[in-house]
Amino acid sequence: MGKERLQRYSLAGPENQAAVQAGLAGADWFRSDVPRKRMKELMRRSDYPATRDTAIWLGLILLFGGLGIAFWGTWWALPIFTVYGTLYGSTSDSRWHETGHGTAFKTRWLDEGLYQLASFMIMRDPTVWRWSHARHHTDTLVLGRDPEIAAMRPARLARLIANFIGLVDVPIALRLMFVHASGRLTADEADFVPGPERHKVYRTARIDLAIYAVTIALAIGLRSWLPVLLIGGPRLYGAWLLNVYALTQHAGLGENVLDHRLNTRTVKMCAVNRFLYWNMNYHVEHHMFPLVPYYRLAELHEEIKHDCAPVYPSIWAAYREIIPAIVRQLRDEEYYVRRELLPGAPPLHVPAPVNDGRGLPLAPAAAA
Amino acid sequence: MAEWIAACVAADIDPEDVIPFEHAGRAYAIYRSPDDSYHATDGNCTHEQTLLCDGLVDGGVIECPKHNGRFDYASGKALGAPVLVDLRTYPVKVEDGTVYIDVG
């Protein structure tokens, strides 16, 4: 089961070709009809929101990092590093994401600078993941094509849980750093990272490894965990919130669907969560219109919500669906959450005759 | 050999915007810059062939609506990942309020 499952989700496996043959790769996806004039307003960028939010974010990280150093050796360090680690190891994900799209700032170097920093913090190679994420947007939840499917069907439950403290992502990231530093890519990465871009991957891995080597040397030299708690370590002990947010995006929903209204969730969140997550809770909106910056997604939501499935009123509401779905998929891998569009919404986008447009396994259908 | 085709009325394009144009089965994108110069490129992104006419035009750059790939629309130059191949550009002239592009 395990090997077969990995094969199905591998970009180097047979599902990739099956998806291409079935017309699911690089296909047209449903998009709501928003007037061009309004879309231009929504796509327009400004440096102010992201500069303000980044100043607050980095300020908090520096503040709690400083407090962590000051209170090191006392019990106060525990809550302080919990906050520091969560800001570093979880919320760098949304900064990585938004700047990776190039939509956070109007000024390119600001966007690129934060992208490089956030990529380091979240332990993702900025080049590999830029291409990986482009593929995720092209072929969202298409088997054999999307390299960013968080919850397989059936889920690798132990790994999902362990990853709440980074126990999957971090070892993989470290292994990949060594692979990249030696001038190689994995087979999956080679499927989406073009040749002319690969030298950047190798260079970044060598720089990152050097930073971690210095951090570890400092820890050994000082005979203290403090350097590791400040650099790198938060990706373990602070990763929990990243996973809480990320699983709401697609977990449990249909695969091989060319309609983000059906394979993606928009979840209402409070102002604090929306700051920490940079509004990525408006995930249907983001996938449908990736050019809209995070600070305009709430407005975009108002424009298209009548076209979509009902929004989830809270993180808790989303997990009331996600957890049972993942558990049920452990014994019934054909199961997925079928989202129903609101009355009057444009109909289901049926992309190919090989499935019902919602998520039947592709390979058997293609072979039939 | 030049083959000038009437593509659109100049006033149909807002300043700093783009509209689609199709001729002989080929998609083009026609741009109007903030200083009222007009430009034309292929209509599809060189990355994954997404139509550029739904993208963002800002500061001489067209940004693809699907993956945010960026091109200088005057030169067609690709400005970085995920676009690595330049856009083809076409000569443009405006006569009597009509935008013509040379598709020859």
**Nearest C-alpha neighbor of A311 from the set A346, A342, A335:** A342
Which range of residues forms the domain containing residue A133?
Answer: 2-367
Q: What is the pLDDT along chain A (368 residues), one digit of tens a residue?
A: 678 888 889 998 889 999 999 989 988 888 999 999 999 999 999 999 999 999 999 999 999 999 999 999 999 999 999 999 999 999 999 999 999 999 999 999 999 999 999 999 999 999 999 999 999 999 999 999 999 999 999 999 999 999 999 999 999 999 999 999 999 999 989 988 999 999 999 999 999 999 999 999 999 999 999 999 999 999 999 999 999 999 999 999 999 988 999 999 999 999 999 999 999 999 999 999 999 999 999 999 999 999 999 999 999 999 999 999 999 999 998 999 999 999 988 876 544 443 333 333 334 433 33
Mean pLDDT of all residues in B24-47: 95
- Encoded amino acid at A301, one letter: H
Q: Which of A44, A131, A137 sits opposite B66 (nearest CB)?
A: A137
Complex prediction ipTM:
0.92
Task: Measure Cα distances from A237 to A64, A157, A226 in Å.
Answer: 15, 19, 13
Spatial neighbors of A133 by CB under 8 A, at least 6 apart, are A97, A100, A101, A148
How near does any CA of chain A get to the CA of B91, in Å?
A: 26
H or E segment and range at residue B100: strand B98-102
pLDDT in tens, A6-35: 888 999 888 999 999 998 998 888 899 999
pLDDT in tens, A69-80: 999 999 999 999
How near does any CA of chain B get to the CA of A63, in Å?
A: 34
How near does any CA of chain B get to the CA of A134, in Å?
A: 6
Answer positive or negative: Cα dihedral of A193, A196, A200, A201.
positive
Distance CA A25, CA A17 (A): 9
Domain count for chain A, please give it: 1
- In chain B, what are the domain boundaries? 4-96
Interface test with B, best of A37, A43, A45, A294 (most B CBs within 10 A): A43
Q: CATH for B4-96?
A: 2.102.10.10
pLDDT in tens, A311-347: 999 999 999 999 999 999 999 989 999 999 999 888 7
Cα torsion A26, A31, A35, A39 to 10°: value is -70
Q: Token digits for A40?
A: 């231009």
